Structure formats: C-alpha cells, structure tokens
Amino acid sequence: IQAKLTIAMPRLDTTGDLVLLTNISEDGIVSGLQSRYKSDKIYTWIGTGQVLLCVNPFKMINKLYSPATLKTYMNRRPYENPPHVYAIAEKAYKDLQETHKPQCVLVSGESGAGKTENAKRLMEYITNVASSSDLKSAKSSASSSIKDKILRSNVLLESFGNAKTLRNDNSSRFGKLMEILFDYGGSIVGGRVTSYLLEKIRVTQPKEGERNFHIFYQLCEACSRGEYQELGLGTPDCYAYLLRSGCFKVPRMNDLNEFHDTEQAMDAIGFTADEKTSLFKVCAAILNLGNVSFVDAGAEGSDIDPASNDAVAWVAFHLCMDEGVLRHNLTHRKIEVNGEEFQKPLLPEDAIRSRDALGMSLYSNAFSDIVKKLNASMESSGMESSRIGILDIYGFEIFEENSMEQLHINYCNEKLQQLFIELTLRAEQNEYAKEGIKWETVNYFDNEPVVKLIESKRPIGILALLDEESVMPRATDETFAVKCNKHIQNKHFAPLGRTHFTIKHYAGDVTYMNAGMLEKNKDQLNKNLVEMLQTDVQNEYIKSLYPVVSKSHKKPPTVSTQFKKQMNELMDNLSQCNAHYVRTIKPNDQKRSGVYEAAMVKNQVTYLGLKENVIVRRAGYAVRQKYEEFFSRYRLLSDEVWPFGTGDVISDCETILNSINVTSGYEKGKSMMFIREPTTLFALEDARDAKLNMVAAKIQGCYRAWIAIKYFLELRKKADEVFGGKKRRAGSVHLAFHGDYLDCKSSVSLSTALTESGEYISDIKFADRVDKINRKGVVQERLLVITSNAFYFFTPDMEKAAIKSSNPLNCLLGMSLSSYADGYCILHFTDHDYVVNSRRKSEIVMVLKERYTTLLESELPLEFSDRIEYKTWGGGMFRSKSITMNYITFEEDRGLPDNNVEFTMAKETANTMKVRVPTNLASRAPIGLNDSAPSRSVAAAVGGYAAPVKNTYSKPPAFNGGGAGGGGYGRAAGAGPPKNPYSSYIAKTAPAPSPAPAPAPAPAPAAKSNLFGDDDSEDDDLF
C-alpha cells in the first residue's frame, strides 16, 4: 500500500493528464492535446479518473478497441493504464459494485466530435466486464442474452435514428439514454432506452449535402439486390424526400451490409417476420408519399396530380388500405364547428403540409414503437439493484439556417453544461467554502442565465412564448417575433427584426429564424388522417402505431412542452447518479484524419470551460466523503477503531488513514474528509479489498466447517443405516469429512495428470494417502483420488505424482469389509480387485456409495465378512492374464495393544493374507454408534471365522434388475457389463475357490501395516 502512495506521477505524455501541465492555459491545453493527437493518443484525463477528453481521430486506430485492450482495463484503477474510454467505464462499474448507487456517464460535445462511437464503446466494455463476472451458468446465459440485445440495440437505433450531416457521417438525430440494469452482485439483469426528440423534419426536408435517415438508403439498396421485392422500391434518386438533399452515398459505409446488420438486430430483439415486413412497408410508404403532388382544383381545393397516381397506389398498397379513401384524406381535412364535423378541401400548399405531416408522423410513431419493443425485450429478468446510464445526445449545432430543431438541441446542451458546471465547478467550490477548507475561487462561464432565457416561465422565456402563440388562433411566426422582442429582456438575447433572433450560447452565438416555428411546435396531424390510420388500414402493426384514445377537450401538449418536460426528467435522473464525464472534441470540420485545427479546438476548450476545470482539479481534492460514511467503509483497516470506533469519528477517520501510512494530502472539514490525491483513495480501496478477502476466507472457513459438521451428523445416521449392525464402529466414522486432504490443486503433476485423463480438480470428491496391499501382500503407499467418474492410484510424491492405475466408477461392482473396526476395504472391479487400508474408510465408502447411486441409479452392494475372497491378475514379467483368487482373513488378537492392527501373509497358503485386530477394535468396539456396551452380535463370532464369503464379484453380474440369477444389483436387464476404458484386460471366469483352511498355527512374525514400505521390485498396481 505504501508503495502505491509514493508512486511518482509521470509526465503528461505518459499518463495524459492535463492536471500535470506546467502551463495551465487554453493554449497550453490545446498544445498538449495536439501532441498526443499526433501520436494517435486521442484520450486525455482532467484529473485521472475524473473527466475524460477525446479528440476525434476520424479514422480507426489499430488495436485501440481490441479485445486484448479491453482486458487490460478490467479490474484496474484509472492510473494503472493510459487514459481510455474503457478506463472510465471500468471506474463506473467499479463504483457501482462498491457503492451500489446509480452511475451515469455523460458523453457530450459538438456534432461530429465522436459521442456515438464513445457511447458504443462504453456499452461494449460494461456489458463485457459484467458478463465475465457471472459465475453461475444460468445467470451467465440470461445476462449474455440481455448483453446481446443491448449491443444490437445500437445497430437498430442508428439505422432508424442516425443520418449523415454536413459535420458527421453517422450523426445521432435523437437523444438516447441507455440504462444497463444490474442486480446486487453486478450481473446484468435488464436494459432500458429513453429517447429524446427525434428530428423528424429530416424525413421530409433533409438539408442539401446531407442524407435522410440511414434506413431509407439501406432498404433501397436491399431491394435493388433482389431483397424485399414486394416493396417495389427503386434507387434513392427516385424519391423526392431523398432527392432533395442530392446526397445518396456515404464513404466507408456499405448500406447493404448495414441493412443485414439491422435485420439481425431486429431478429435478436424479437421482431417477427411480419413485424419486420410491416415496418419496412411503413418506410416504403413514406418514400412514395413524398412523390405525391397536388394540383389546384378550384372550388374543390386540390386534387392528386395524375402524374402521382402510381405513387398513391404504392402508398395505399403499403398501408394496406383502399386507394380512394387515401386520396380523399390527403386532399381534405376534418374540422369541427359548433359540435358538428365537416370535411374541408385543402389548397395544394395545405395538402403538401398535410402530406409531410403524415410522413413525419408515421416515421416518428414507428421509431417510438421500436424503442418500446427494445425495452420490452430487455425488461429486467431479476431483482434490479442499480444501474449505469450512458447518455448519447445530439451535440451543439450551429448551421447557416437554424430553426426550432437547433433551438431544442442547443437548449439540451445548455442544460447538460449547466449540470456539468453544477457538479464539477460550482458545487465543488461551494463545498470547500462551506466546510472551511482554504480555497481561492476560480471564475468560470455560468450558463444559468441562458437556460432561464430559453425555459423560464417568469420572467417569460422563448419556449413559453412559443407555446403561448401556438394556441392563439391568428398567431403567426411574425407575431411570435414581436412578442419575443417586447417581453424578453436578457443580455444573452438579441432580436434581429421580425425574422430572426440570436442567442449567446456557452458554445457561441447562434442565429435562429422564426419561419416555421409555430407550425413545428404544434406538430398536429389532421384528425381525419389519424382516424384513417386507426380504422381504414388493414395492417395490425400499422394500426397499433395509432391506438384509439378517449376523447379529451384538452389541447395536446406542444413539442416544446414535451421536450422541456423530458429534459427536466433527464436532469432529475442524472442528478441522482454518480456522474462520470466524456467530453468529445472535434479537431476539424472536414472530417479528415490527422488534421488538427488549433483555433477550432481552442474555441471548444474555451466554451467547455476545460481550463477552469483543470485549475479546480489541480488545486482541489479528488475525494470528499462524510466522516460517518468514510468510517463505516474503511474502519476494518484499523484494529484501533474496529468495529465501533472510539466515539470521535473525526479522530477515527484520521487513525484509519494513518494505519495505511497516509499522514498528509488530506484535510478535515466540518463534516467531511477531503483527500487530495486519487492514489490515496485507490490505496484505501486496495487495502479494504485485501482485508475483505481475509474476512471472506474466515467466513468461508466457518461455513465449510459448519457444512462439514452438518454432513458428518447426517453421515452418522446414514453410516449406521449402511453398516446396519454388520460392522463394529470406531475411528473413521468420527472424523470430520473434508474430501480433499491432499490439496490436489497445489500439485502441478497431479493436476496435469487428471486433466490429461479428462478430469478437473473441481471433480475431486476424495483424496488422501492410503496403504494399498498388492497381490504378494506388500504394503504400498499411494495417493487415492476419487473423482465424479473414476478411481485413481497415484505415486506418493506430490511433486512428481503419476497415475499408477485407474478404473471408471461405472465398473465398480461392490465393496467388502470385515465385521471389525479396522481400516481395510476391498473394492471389486470388473477386471481385478483392490485391497486398501485407510483411517478414513467410512468416508471412502460413503463417497463411493453416493457416486455409484448417481452414476448407475442403484445401491452399491456391500458385503461384510471376516473371510473375503478377491481376485488378482497372475504375476511374472509379462503379467499373466489368468485370474488368481485370494483370501484375506480377519481375527481378533487379545494380545495386541489397542489400535494396533497387524497384517501378515499366512504361512500355510500363498494366496491368503491375515489381519489381526486388537480387542478395542473387535469385541470391545460398539456395533452401532449409539451402543454403550460391547456386543458380540456381529457377522462373525469373535475369535473364529465365519463361513467365507464367496467372491460374487469375480465376474460382472448380469444386469437384470436383481432378478433370479441376476446378481441382484438393480441394473437394467440385458444391459451387459459396463466396459472398462482404463484396461484392455477382460475378466475371466474365476477358478473354484480354495477350501477354507484349518485353524492356523501360530502366526509368522508380523509387521505393522503402517510400517510397510513400497517394494520397488514388485510395484504391482494392476492388483
């Protein structure tokens, strides 16, 4: 931690932080950005992790957004990597996980400065890092589906909401707030899109040199290549709404490929084939609608120009309605006089306005429906805890002709600039003064008077006057201008006669023309056209765009009223979030890579207030937090204040800082702790993470212990049922069960061997050191590993562990045990058997029993006897394939010390081994767990042999479900024995068992089983 606090801050060309500039001036900032721009370093910090600047390169930079680059920013602090949009995305996600408070990233800048691209990269990073944190497969699958929809939503919204402008080839002509919804664990559970003010005037009046919305050109290109032939579309120059701008192609944009991407996005989001076709029909209808022209019909008003008959027929075809009804409604409007409705003929110019209003209305409603479907498809799939919002909204615009669209767009940017100033400059400086922190005030451009000029009601502002005139029956654009000139007294407003007015925005002076403002603000579609779309259209999708609503005497809200309401709701939403900023800068107006116009950049540096922001960040404090919040979050770092503190919260906070060797670089306010350097916060967070990991490890340990105890208690009951009074109990049944006693993951060789066998460390159910008795009675130490599917013996050296033998568990036929409390168990497999001695015999039995039941859906056969028959392969250099039958006998020896089990080879026969068991593990051992006194009621009487148990496992049993002659193991009839993939040997028919031996003479000198070592001359693991 101390090392992190003493890191020397690098130069600007390394970290790209303007706070480190020696010359903090607008020229110094412009020069610093230019030097980085020339090196393709387009991102720069203002205070590491605080505000990110991006200068649009107008080209693709190699590996800038590659998957490898994305990974380098995951789980990294902002200062650990060069500045990048991924760094601020990581910070937003990290803050969400740590505080569980809503986050937002505000992407702002001029049109063409790169806002849309940065917003896409933010979503790309956040969805990727959130998906990588999902652990459960089901959760990961759901999260991945939502992630895909969030990313594809960009494609769909760009096709229908973006267009080429003079300044930007892919300009967003609507505002968008994309909110990614998370559960408490940081997994994506949903998404939500809010759209703002689609520039629908572009549908009918695209400007010269620009394009209409991308989707129109995509459809025309697709139809020219034989797709969607039923739409009957030609090339873009066939349609007046597209021909008007004179621009049909965009360099580096393939409309056909973009169309296919759009279709795929619609499929992913849930559009049906009929809905897609219907949506495309709406677009085709709009294009043909623009080709409908009108002629003067005298007293009849107007009529359809005969040259437009084909266009009208196509519109009727696409809208699925009668052509005659369409013709009538395009040339008439419904009016109401004294409660009675009349059809009024329209003059040609009025019919054109009505036609254009219909085209804009169709497109606007279709766009709103797309957003609605997007939200339905991304609806939260789990408990929503918090969110990250990414705001991509139109940039500040200044054109030769600016109308109501630009007024609304620039008003929106004024509101965002006001929020930026409030959160980064005004609030910060006010907080220092309030908390008694020494501070020299930094002056900045305050745009609040401009915001009031546009939106205020008292004194009346521009939008309020526009709404007032919009309801006046005889109002005109000229009367609106007269009222503005008379009532508005604001130094940022300059009237220019009755045709124009100028507003002095924070980004520069913009002159707006009055012409058309009232009509655009009313934005009302003739009533008869609305009713036509509700009743005469035979397409359910198109009908759904115009739902029937109950009649109301209230006038519908104007466009300005709706937009102002949306902006206020947006500001309320953003003010509830922890804000992060990406401020984009446009280096030239020609959209040329490598061109950096210093004067243009300086203008943006000025009106964005970047110099003031750098000064405040450099002189200010990166972190400020209420004492109570600081203490609550970091108290675990100091034993002196953990857990309840001393009662003096200010002193406790200082103690916490001192505990990680922070003795300077902070100030104590009246109610808050102020920390100057971000690295101090990072050190606090890293130390807290490390401490939480320790705490988590302790909690996990306690939990695992509780699980083990619970499992042990359950096992006591299960084991008593399993052994059913057939075996005396002591030792292993009282041990806590842990499974992996070898810590297998620490052995590279063992892990590798398992991986090569198709297993994983996570598959291990049991692992421990055991004694394996080979066919000559030699005790060999082995590592026994039981996985979900197989049974392994490894060599005993953990560093060089190698598989000596193995068998799949579906080849296990059963187990045999003595009636005594010894540690021996015999495992019967299809080809040969194993004799194993382990103090954890009970756990081995229970693990194998559970796995057997899971794999074969039947109970593991268990035999209890003091004389057990088992099979081995023949010996010799070439290992004879003949099967040899052997015996192991168990008897009580009252002369042995307690707990001292001895094992010998019987003298009288070469294929019999003897295990002598002391009294405390024989007659004095309880039969059941609840026995308070010894009992002799066992399968074999103490001091003598029971009748030998014939080895029923010498051949695989018939799998007939336990019927007569079937072995009784509950497998499916006729299924045959499971094949052993681990051995090429096939079990032979066992020879007749040897007769039971006579009582043995005095045993040969015994060796204790735990003293036997490996016999290198007979390392027989095929036994």
DSSP state of 425: I
Residue 643: asked if its preceding bond is cis (omega within 30°), the reply is yes
Structure tokens at 971: 């497998």
Which 3 state secondary structure label does DSSP give 884? strand
**Catalytic-labelled residue, pool 116, 288, 470, 606:** 116
Residue 991: asked if its preceding bond is cis (omega within 30°), the reply is no
Contact between 409 and 397 under an 8 Å Cβ cutoff? The reply is: yes
**DSSP-assigned letters across all residues of 500-516:** EEEEEETTEEEEEE-TT
Contact between 133 and 187 under an 8 Å Cβ cutoff? The reply is: yes
Which 3 state secondary structure label does DSSP give 79? helix
| Of 21, 12, 89, nearest in space to 52 by CA | 89
**Catalytic-labelled residue, pool 108, 153, 171, 613:** 171
Contact between 410 and 508 under an 8 Å Cβ cutoff? The reply is: no
Residues 38-69 as b or e (16 or more Cβ within 10 Å = b)? eeebbbbbbbbbbbbbbbbbbeeeeebbeeee
List Cβ neighbours of 158 (8 Å cut-off, separation of 6 or more): 116, 170, 172, 214
Distance separating alpha carbons of residues 861 and 841, to the nearest angstrom: 16
Contact between 997 and 912 under an 8 Å Cβ cutoff? The reply is: yes
For helices 323-331 and 348-377, the axis angle rounded to 10 degrees is 120
User: Is 774 an active-site residue?
Assistant: no
**Catalytic-labelled residue, pool 117, 124, 210, 397:** 397
User: Is 664 an active-site residue?
Assistant: no
- Cα of 12 vs its chain's centroid, Å: 33
User: Is 277 an active-site residue?
Assistant: no
**Catalytic-labelled residue, pool 127, 172, 655, 923:** 172
Q: Indicate the residue type of 93.
A: Y
Cross-strand bridge partners of residue 494 = 502
827: alpha, beta or left, given left = phi > 0 and alpha = psi -120 to 50?
A: beta
User: Is 168 an active-site residue?
Assistant: yes
**Catalytic-labelled residue, pool 108, 118, 127, 168:** 168
User: Is 112 an active-site residue?
Assistant: yes
Structure tokens at 805: 């033998």
List Cβ neighbours of 28 (8 Å cut-off, separation of 6 or more): 21, 22
User: Is 962 an active-site residue?
Assistant: no
**Catalytic-labelled residue, pool 47, 112, 114, 777:** 112
Residue 967 CB neighbours (<10 A): 20
The half-sphere exposure of 25 on its side-chain side, counting CA atoms within 13 A, is 4
285: alpha, beta or left, given left = phi > 0 and alpha = psi -120 to 50?
A: alpha
Show the beta-strand stretches assigned E in 56-137: 103-108
**Catalytic-labelled residue, pool 395, 620, 669, 967:** 395
Cross-strand bridge partners of residue 808 = 790
Residues 503-527 as b or e (16 or more Cβ within 10 Å = b)? bbbbbeebbbbbbebbebbbbebbe
- Cα of 88 vs its chain's centroid, Å: 16
Residue 266 CB neighbours (<10 A): 22
Query: What percentage of the chain's residues is helix, strand, coil (to nearest 5)?
Result: 45, 20, 40
List Cβ neighbours of 958 (8 Å cut-off, separation of 6 or more): 965, 966, 967
Q: β-pairing, 386-392 with 103-108?
A: parallel
Structure tokens at 531: 């009713």
711 burial (CB, 10 Å; 0-12 / 13-18 / 19+) is: middle
360 burial (CB, 10 Å; 0-12 / 13-18 / 19+) is: buried
* Residues that are catalytic: 111-112, 116, 168, 171-172, 395, 397
